[in-house]
Amino acid sequence: MHAPTSVGRTTVALTLAASALALIPADAAAAKTVCGSADFPKLAARLGPKIKAAVKGRSGSVSVAVYDRRRGLGCYVGTGLRYDTASTVKVAVVAALLQTAQKQKRKLTAREKSLARAAITRSDNNATSTLWAQLGRARMQRLLDDVGMKATALGPTTYWGLTRTTAYDQLRLLRVLTRDRDDVLNAASRRYLLGLMADTVSNQRWGTPAGAPSGAKVHVKNGWLPRSTLGWRVHSLGTFDGGGRDYMMVVLTHGNPSMAYGITTIERVARVIHSGLNPE
Protein backbone atom coordinates (compact mmCIF):
# COMPACT_ATOMS: atom_id res chain seq x y z
CA MET A 1 0.00 0.00 0.00
CA HIS A 2 1.21 3.50 -0.79
CA ALA A 3 0.04 6.71 0.81
CA PRO A 4 -2.31 8.67 -1.47
CA THR A 5 -1.17 11.96 -2.93
CA SER A 6 -3.29 15.09 -3.00
CA VAL A 7 -5.03 15.76 -6.27
CA GLY A 8 -6.68 18.72 -7.91
CA ARG A 9 -10.09 18.92 -9.42
CA THR A 10 -10.63 17.48 -12.87
CA THR A 11 -13.36 18.00 -15.40
CA VAL A 12 -15.88 15.16 -15.63
CA ALA A 13 -16.50 14.06 -19.21
CA LEU A 14 -20.11 13.39 -20.17
CA THR A 15 -21.44 10.83 -22.66
CA LEU A 16 -24.83 9.52 -23.76
CA ALA A 17 -26.00 6.34 -25.41
CA ALA A 18 -26.73 6.90 -29.09
CA SER A 19 -30.09 5.17 -28.69
CA ALA A 20 -32.21 3.94 -25.84
CA LEU A 21 -31.40 0.33 -26.51
CA ALA A 22 -27.72 0.82 -27.20
CA LEU A 23 -25.43 -0.01 -24.30
CA ILE A 24 -22.78 2.52 -25.28
CA PRO A 25 -22.92 5.54 -27.59
CA ALA A 26 -21.31 4.99 -30.98
CA ASP A 27 -19.42 8.27 -30.59
CA ALA A 28 -19.16 8.97 -26.88
CA ALA A 29 -17.09 12.12 -27.33
CA ALA A 30 -19.77 13.71 -29.51
CA ALA A 31 -22.65 13.05 -27.10
CA LYS A 32 -24.12 16.14 -25.43
CA THR A 33 -26.41 14.81 -22.70
CA VAL A 34 -26.20 12.25 -19.91
CA CYS A 35 -29.32 10.05 -20.05
CA GLY A 36 -31.44 8.79 -22.90
CA SER A 37 -34.53 6.64 -23.41
CA ALA A 38 -36.84 6.41 -26.40
CA ASP A 39 -39.77 5.28 -24.26
CA PHE A 40 -39.12 7.40 -21.16
CA PRO A 41 -37.58 10.66 -22.47
CA LYS A 42 -38.98 12.82 -19.66
CA LEU A 43 -37.49 10.57 -17.00
CA ALA A 44 -34.14 10.63 -18.82
CA ALA A 45 -34.28 14.41 -19.11
CA ARG A 46 -34.89 14.75 -15.36
CA LEU A 47 -32.27 12.24 -14.26
CA GLY A 48 -29.36 13.51 -16.36
CA PRO A 49 -28.99 16.93 -14.71
CA LYS A 50 -29.30 15.35 -11.25
CA ILE A 51 -26.37 13.01 -11.97
CA LYS A 52 -24.32 15.94 -13.24
CA ALA A 53 -25.12 17.89 -10.07
CA ALA A 54 -24.11 14.91 -7.90
CA VAL A 55 -20.59 14.78 -9.38
CA LYS A 56 -20.11 18.53 -9.75
CA GLY A 57 -17.23 19.88 -7.69
CA ARG A 58 -15.94 16.46 -6.60
CA SER A 59 -12.15 16.05 -6.64
CA GLY A 60 -10.57 13.57 -8.98
CA SER A 61 -12.21 11.56 -11.75
CA VAL A 62 -15.72 10.08 -11.70
CA SER A 63 -17.28 7.72 -14.24
CA VAL A 64 -20.90 6.59 -14.09
CA ALA A 65 -22.72 3.99 -16.19
CA VAL A 66 -26.37 3.09 -15.62
CA TYR A 67 -28.73 0.81 -17.52
CA ASP A 68 -32.41 0.24 -16.75
CA ARG A 69 -33.41 -2.74 -18.87
CA ARG A 70 -37.15 -2.39 -18.25
CA ARG A 71 -37.22 1.19 -19.47
CA GLY A 72 -34.46 0.93 -22.07
CA LEU A 73 -32.79 3.86 -20.30
CA GLY A 74 -29.05 4.48 -20.18
CA CYS A 75 -27.00 7.15 -18.40
CA TYR A 76 -23.30 7.59 -19.10
CA VAL A 77 -20.77 9.97 -17.52
CA GLY A 78 -17.10 9.70 -18.46
CA THR A 79 -17.52 6.02 -19.33
CA GLY A 80 -14.44 5.87 -21.56
CA LEU A 81 -12.00 6.86 -18.80
CA ARG A 82 -9.77 4.04 -17.53
CA TYR A 83 -9.19 3.04 -13.92
CA ASP A 84 -7.34 0.38 -11.94
CA THR A 85 -10.08 -2.09 -11.02
CA ALA A 86 -8.90 -2.84 -7.47
CA SER A 87 -11.21 -5.52 -6.04
CA THR A 88 -14.05 -5.01 -8.51
CA VAL A 89 -12.10 -7.34 -10.83
CA LYS A 90 -13.10 -10.19 -8.52
CA VAL A 91 -16.48 -10.32 -10.27
CA ALA A 92 -14.71 -11.01 -13.56
CA VAL A 93 -12.40 -13.57 -11.91
CA VAL A 94 -15.31 -15.60 -10.56
CA ALA A 95 -17.18 -15.20 -13.86
CA ALA A 96 -14.14 -16.64 -15.66
CA LEU A 97 -14.04 -19.53 -13.19
CA LEU A 98 -17.70 -20.30 -13.90
CA GLN A 99 -17.21 -20.00 -17.65
CA THR A 100 -14.24 -22.36 -17.51
CA ALA A 101 -16.23 -24.95 -15.54
CA GLN A 102 -19.06 -24.69 -18.07
CA LYS A 103 -16.72 -25.32 -20.97
CA GLN A 104 -15.25 -28.30 -19.11
CA LYS A 105 -18.84 -29.55 -18.52
CA ARG A 106 -18.44 -29.77 -14.77
CA LYS A 107 -19.57 -28.11 -11.56
CA LEU A 108 -17.31 -26.07 -9.33
CA THR A 109 -15.38 -28.11 -6.79
CA ALA A 110 -15.91 -27.53 -3.07
CA ARG A 111 -12.53 -25.76 -2.97
CA GLU A 112 -13.46 -23.49 -5.89
CA LYS A 113 -16.78 -22.61 -4.26
CA SER A 114 -15.01 -21.71 -1.03
CA LEU A 115 -12.52 -19.50 -2.87
CA ALA A 116 -15.23 -17.82 -4.95
CA ARG A 117 -17.34 -17.08 -1.88
CA ALA A 118 -14.37 -15.60 -0.03
CA ALA A 119 -13.37 -13.46 -3.03
CA ILE A 120 -16.82 -11.94 -3.55
CA THR A 121 -18.49 -11.81 -0.15
CA ARG A 122 -15.42 -10.85 1.91
CA SER A 123 -13.19 -9.48 -0.87
CA ASP A 124 -10.47 -11.92 0.19
CA ASN A 125 -7.26 -11.14 -1.68
CA ASN A 126 -5.57 -14.50 -1.09
CA ALA A 127 -8.57 -16.37 -2.48
CA THR A 128 -8.55 -14.11 -5.53
CA SER A 129 -4.83 -14.64 -6.10
CA THR A 130 -5.35 -18.41 -5.95
CA LEU A 131 -8.15 -18.27 -8.54
CA TRP A 132 -6.20 -15.85 -10.74
CA ALA A 133 -3.24 -18.25 -10.80
CA GLN A 134 -5.48 -21.29 -11.40
CA LEU A 135 -7.30 -19.67 -14.31
CA GLY A 136 -4.30 -18.13 -16.02
CA ARG A 137 -4.34 -15.15 -18.34
CA ALA A 138 -5.77 -17.01 -21.33
CA ARG A 139 -9.00 -17.94 -19.53
CA MET A 140 -9.35 -14.50 -18.02
CA GLN A 141 -8.86 -12.94 -21.45
CA ARG A 142 -11.42 -15.29 -22.96
CA LEU A 143 -14.03 -14.00 -20.49
CA LEU A 144 -13.19 -10.39 -21.36
CA ASP A 145 -13.35 -11.13 -25.07
CA ASP A 146 -16.65 -12.99 -24.85
CA VAL A 147 -18.28 -10.23 -22.80
CA GLY A 148 -16.92 -7.60 -25.19
CA MET A 149 -14.79 -5.78 -22.63
CA LYS A 150 -12.47 -4.35 -25.27
CA ALA A 151 -11.12 -1.50 -23.13
CA THR A 152 -10.14 -3.76 -20.22
CA ALA A 153 -6.51 -4.91 -19.90
CA LEU A 154 -5.47 -7.56 -17.40
CA GLY A 155 -3.07 -6.50 -14.67
CA PRO A 156 0.58 -7.51 -15.03
CA THR A 157 1.61 -10.97 -13.73
CA THR A 158 0.02 -11.49 -10.29
CA TYR A 159 -1.32 -7.94 -9.92
CA TRP A 160 -4.98 -8.59 -10.63
CA GLY A 161 -5.99 -5.34 -8.88
CA LEU A 162 -4.09 -3.33 -11.49
CA THR A 163 -6.32 -4.58 -14.28
CA ARG A 164 -7.38 -1.46 -16.19
CA THR A 165 -11.03 -0.96 -17.09
CA THR A 166 -13.81 1.50 -17.87
CA ALA A 167 -17.30 1.96 -16.47
CA TYR A 168 -18.42 1.16 -20.03
CA ASP A 169 -16.87 -2.32 -19.79
CA GLN A 170 -18.01 -3.04 -16.26
CA LEU A 171 -21.60 -2.32 -17.25
CA ARG A 172 -21.23 -4.85 -20.06
CA LEU A 173 -20.25 -7.47 -17.48
CA LEU A 174 -23.21 -6.62 -15.24
CA ARG A 175 -25.54 -6.94 -18.23
CA VAL A 176 -24.18 -10.43 -18.86
CA LEU A 177 -24.81 -11.34 -15.22
CA THR A 178 -28.39 -10.09 -15.45
CA ARG A 179 -29.59 -12.18 -18.38
CA ASP A 180 -28.27 -10.56 -21.55
CA ARG A 181 -25.86 -13.27 -22.73
CA ASP A 182 -26.63 -16.95 -22.18
CA ASP A 183 -23.71 -17.80 -24.49
CA VAL A 184 -21.19 -16.44 -21.95
CA LEU A 185 -22.65 -17.67 -18.64
CA ASN A 186 -25.66 -19.94 -18.33
CA ALA A 187 -28.56 -19.20 -16.00
CA ALA A 188 -27.17 -21.34 -13.16
CA SER A 189 -23.79 -19.60 -13.30
CA ARG A 190 -25.39 -16.18 -13.31
CA ARG A 191 -27.60 -17.03 -10.33
CA TYR A 192 -24.60 -18.35 -8.43
CA LEU A 193 -22.46 -15.24 -8.92
CA LEU A 194 -25.32 -12.83 -8.26
CA GLY A 195 -26.10 -14.85 -5.13
CA LEU A 196 -22.57 -14.25 -3.87
CA MET A 197 -22.88 -10.53 -4.60
CA ALA A 198 -26.13 -10.49 -2.64
CA ASP A 199 -24.28 -12.01 0.35
CA THR A 200 -21.51 -9.41 0.55
CA VAL A 201 -20.64 -8.75 4.20
CA SER A 202 -22.39 -5.79 5.79
CA ASN A 203 -19.34 -3.53 6.11
CA GLN A 204 -18.72 -3.79 2.36
CA ARG A 205 -22.26 -2.93 1.27
CA TRP A 206 -21.55 0.77 0.80
CA GLY A 207 -21.51 2.58 -2.54
CA THR A 208 -24.12 1.82 -5.20
CA PRO A 209 -26.64 0.32 -2.70
CA ALA A 210 -26.99 3.72 -0.98
CA GLY A 211 -30.58 4.88 -1.37
CA ALA A 212 -31.84 1.62 -2.91
CA PRO A 213 -35.57 1.08 -2.30
CA SER A 214 -36.42 -1.34 0.48
CA GLY A 215 -38.03 -3.85 -1.89
CA ALA A 216 -35.03 -4.15 -4.18
CA LYS A 217 -32.71 -7.15 -4.22
CA VAL A 218 -29.17 -5.74 -4.03
CA HIS A 219 -26.05 -7.34 -5.53
CA VAL A 220 -22.83 -5.41 -4.96
CA LYS A 221 -19.06 -5.63 -5.30
CA ASN A 222 -16.78 -2.77 -4.31
CA GLY A 223 -13.10 -2.03 -4.74
CA TRP A 224 -10.67 0.33 -3.03
CA LEU A 225 -6.94 0.89 -3.43
CA PRO A 226 -4.58 3.75 -2.49
CA ARG A 227 -1.54 4.35 -4.70
CA SER A 228 1.22 6.96 -4.83
CA THR A 229 -0.34 8.42 -7.99
CA LEU A 230 -3.98 9.47 -8.37
CA GLY A 231 -4.74 8.91 -4.70
CA TRP A 232 -7.46 6.43 -3.74
CA ARG A 233 -9.27 4.31 -6.31
CA VAL A 234 -12.78 3.71 -4.94
CA HIS A 235 -15.36 1.85 -7.06
CA SER A 236 -18.77 0.20 -6.73
CA LEU A 237 -20.72 -2.15 -9.01
CA GLY A 238 -24.37 -2.88 -8.25
CA THR A 239 -27.42 -4.57 -9.76
CA PHE A 240 -30.96 -4.16 -8.46
CA ASP A 241 -34.06 -6.23 -9.17
CA GLY A 242 -37.34 -7.30 -7.61
CA GLY A 243 -40.70 -5.55 -7.62
CA GLY A 244 -40.53 -5.01 -11.36
CA ARG A 245 -37.08 -3.44 -11.17
CA ASP A 246 -34.20 -4.44 -13.43
CA TYR A 247 -31.34 -1.95 -13.43
CA MET A 248 -27.64 -1.74 -12.70
CA MET A 249 -25.01 0.91 -12.12
CA VAL A 250 -21.25 1.32 -12.09
CA VAL A 251 -19.42 4.20 -10.40
CA LEU A 252 -15.62 4.31 -10.73
CA THR A 253 -13.45 7.00 -9.13
CA HIS A 254 -9.82 7.86 -8.57
CA GLY A 255 -7.94 10.90 -7.37
CA ASN A 256 -9.79 10.74 -4.04
CA PRO A 257 -7.94 12.21 -1.03
CA SER A 258 -9.32 9.38 1.13
CA MET A 259 -11.41 6.23 0.86
CA ALA A 260 -14.24 7.96 2.73
CA TYR A 261 -14.24 10.79 0.21
CA GLY A 262 -14.60 8.32 -2.67
CA ILE A 263 -17.44 6.50 -0.93
CA THR A 264 -19.25 9.80 -0.41
CA THR A 265 -18.94 10.62 -4.11
CA ILE A 266 -20.31 7.22 -5.15
CA GLU A 267 -23.19 7.38 -2.69
CA ARG A 268 -24.18 10.87 -3.83
CA VAL A 269 -24.53 9.49 -7.34
CA ALA A 270 -26.27 6.29 -6.24
CA ARG A 271 -28.95 8.09 -4.23
CA VAL A 272 -29.82 10.30 -7.18
CA ILE A 273 -30.10 7.30 -9.50
CA HIS A 274 -32.20 5.19 -7.12
CA SER A 275 -34.60 8.05 -6.40
CA GLY A 276 -34.84 8.91 -10.09
CA LEU A 277 -35.62 5.34 -11.15
CA ASN A 278 -37.98 4.73 -8.22
CA PRO A 279 -40.01 7.97 -8.00
CA GLU A 280 -42.73 6.27 -5.98
Q: What is the CATH number of the domain that holds 55?
A: 3.40.710.10
Measured CA angle at 4 (ends 234, 249), to 5 deg: 10
Report yes or no on 6 lying in a domain. Answer: no
Which range of residues forms the domain containing residue 115?
14-277
pLDDT averaged over 10-residue windows placed end to end, the chain, 280 residues: 34 32 35 83 97 95 97 96 98 98 98 98 98 98 98 98 98 94 92 98 98 96 96 98 96 98 98 94
Report yes or no on 1 lying in a domain. Answer: no
CA dist., res. 278 & res. 137, Å (int): 40
Report yes or no on 9 lying in a domain. Answer: no
pLDDT value of residue 25: 38
Sign for the pseudo-dihedral over CA of 197, 235, 174, 46: positive
Report yes or no on 236 lying in a domain. Answer: yes
Report yes or no on 2 lying in a domain. Answer: no
Residues whose CB is less than 8 angstroms from the CB of residue 58 and which lie 6 or more positions away in sequence, other chains included: 9, 12, 253, 265, 268
Q: Which residue(s) pair with 221 in the sheet?
A: 237
SS3 181: coil
Looking at the 3D structure of the chain, how many domains does it have?
1
117 exposure class (CB count in 10 Å sphere: 0-12, 13-18, 19+): middle
Report yes or no on 4 lying in a domain. Answer: no
Report yes or no on 8 lying in a domain. Answer: no
CB neighbourhood size of 73 (10 A): 25
CA dist., res. 41 & res. 35, Å (int): 9
pLDDT value of residue 182: 84
Report yes or no on 246 lying in a domain. Answer: yes
224-263 pLDDT, tens digit per residue, is 999 999 999 999 999 999 999 999 999 999 999 999 999 9
